[in-house]
Structure 1
Amino acid sequence: MASFFNFASPVDVDVRLDGDEQRRQVEVKVDKDRRERCPVYFDGESVKGQVHIRTRDGKRLVHEGIKIEFVGCIELFYDRGNHYEFLSLTHQLASPGEVAAGGGGAVYDFEFKNVEKAYESYNGINVKLRYFLRVLLGRRMADVAKEKDLWVHSYRMPPDSNNPIKMEVGIEDCLHIEFEYNKSKRVSPGRVYHLKDVIVGKIYFLLVRIKIKHMELSIIRRETTGAAPNQYNESETITKFEIMDGAPVRGETIPIRLFLGGFELTPTFRDVNKKFSTRYYLNLVLIDEENRRYFKQNEITCFRIPEN
């Protein structure tokens, strides 16, 4: 994603990863209107390839050494001056010398073996967790740098819960509604869902003495960055849809079936490197004929499973 050269760089630097063409790629949002594709890697997987360096002006290039770094860092958008590196590995590719002019330039092999990638990549509202390779070519006047991003997926399982989700909305002597969400029968019950899972459940109307106009169900992602007193919370609605239109009656039941695979969800992240958390909530909202809103929220935990 992010890559840069110093102004008027005399060389082209290209990082090529072994097996890149066969490796799964993901589209990552860079800004509002632009996405880029990144290769997917996993915890404990080696990262290897070649660095190609070629001079631009047909002249040999004297350098003070060439190295490549494998970096994992967290960038907080409200603290742009500081990047928090939790992983930093370095290989020296070349001692001080020169890159000859002409031909195919110089090629250097590199390998970072069995790299522990403790966290999954994430690109949120106020925070980004990224892994990247950075080539640094030392020069007397100004160094040349090139970055290449990787995307890391993690299959770490969160703690399981065997209890169904049960939420109640009630107004004394006016309204009593019970919502119960289970998991599909192909996985164990609980409030832990994988990213391709299906949330199934029912809504029970036990007492209805107000005129309900309609009801909505949504998935909310809540991102928390920083620590008190400088803590930032941002919520975004991943999806929202109407599940009832019109007034229900006592004893009525509404079935719910929500397919998570159609949305851009990430796993649940809790206190990643003491810098940020990302949590998901089921949010149920009832709206009466006077546009008063009654709602209940319950957290769900999401995790990733291997794809076929």
Structure 2
Amino acid sequence: MTVLAIPFPDIDPSAFVIPGLGLPIRWYALAYIAGLVLGWKVVAGLMARPKLWSGYPPMAPKLAEDLLTWMVAGVVLGGRLGFVLFYEPGYYLSHPLEIPMVWQGGMSFHGGFLGVVVAGLWFCRRHRLRALSVADAIALAVPFGLLFGRIANFIKPELWGRPTDAPWGVVFPVDAAQVCNGIAGQVDGFCARHPSQLYEAGLEGLVLAVILWALMAAGALRRPGLLTGVFLMGYGLSRAFVELFRQPDAQFQGPHNPLGYALQFGDWGLTMGQILSIPMVLVGLYFALRAARGAQP
């Protein structure tokens, strides 16, 4: 069956090449840089506005640059170790020398998130800062990085969705030699897929940013932990929902598990992304309720 679909746009994965060196700078790298730099500016700007906070900002604006350094370390180390431990522990146990090879691909958002938590707590303890208030400022910045990152996933392309016959399905170039074998969503024999990267960019990035900044404008920074809780719930629910449309993780697929469930109960199960999102939602709910009741850190 042939259906309406959108051909993948002809986008060069390299944004530009450094003259004289021939070194390509990829959109993926620019997304990381833009997200981190914008996050630094957002946090520094929030710290320079005392009226947003209850009492006074949790740290001086100049400390935001030091915080950025630890956030970068947390994202990279946590993201890589998370991928190794959550998705392919057996492979990397047999090939430990490949663990540091981040340029080969393989990063986990949930691992990066845990890395940021550890780095942030260490930073706050070192400088004797109110951790929940600092976390609220970071929560306002993270959706922008997620927006840029998911768009970069689309451009690369990677993390595409499952086959679909929806008119907005995209025929990714990686599918050029893959026949759908009777699956709904064929275009001249090739797979049209959900652009799940853009679903995530919209939900985890744009929608979550609007919600968080609207709450901030309503005075949420005066309730430490509220924005952190809303972020955790918002990301966890968004990720769990988009997993329904995202191509299953190849590491977990098999003849009796075509949907790539990491935890399977007969014909039903949970993907690894959903499993890792559940504790985020629960912890986020705790922080949001705690803040709503006016509990102080």
- Do the two structures share a fold, i.e. TM-score over 0.5? no
TM range (shorter): under 0.3
- TM-score when normalising by structure 2: 0.26
Of structures 1 and 2, the one scoring higher in RCO (CA 8 A, sep 6+) is: 2
Larger Cα-atom Rg: 1
Higher helix share: 2
- TM-score when normalising by structure 1: 0.25
Higher strand share: 1
